[in-house]
């Protein structure tokens, strides 16, 4: 989808976001700060992440992006 969204589309997008995201921003932020969150997943080049010393997993990076771009009026 490109361009601007109608108010109804924006409501639908926000409702879908909240349906799919099952952690509050505070809980997601806390999870992303753990070693466990840095020790699972796959890198952008398809390597399995098994330790926090490896490159960042795609899912961890996306969690950070969600916090950056999530709804501004959601309590943290």
Residue range of the domain that includes 53: 7-69
Q: How many domains does the chain have?
A: 1
Kindly provide the b/e burial profile for residues 12-32, where b requires at least 16 CB atoms within 10 angstroms of the residue's own CB: eeeeeeeeeeeeeeeebeeeb
Residue 52 counted as domain residue: yes
In which element (H, E) is residue 61 found? Answer: helix 58-69
Going residue by residue through the chain (76 aa), what tens digit of pLDDT does each one get? 456 899 999 999 989 988 887 788 899 999 999 988 888 889 888 889 888 888 889 989 989 998 998 665 445 4
Residue 75 counted as domain residue: no
Residue 16 counted as domain residue: yes
Total-model pTM: 0.59
């Amino acid at each position: 989808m490109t361009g601007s969204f109608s108010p109804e589309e924006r409501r639908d997008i926000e409702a879908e976001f909240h349906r799919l995201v099952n952690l509050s921003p505070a809980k997601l932020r806390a999870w992303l700060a753990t070693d466990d969150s840095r020790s699972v997943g796959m890198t952008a080049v398809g390597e399995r992440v098994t330790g926090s010393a490896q490159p960042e997993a795609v899912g961890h990076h996306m969690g950070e992006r969600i916090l950056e771009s999530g709804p501004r009026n959601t309590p943290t």
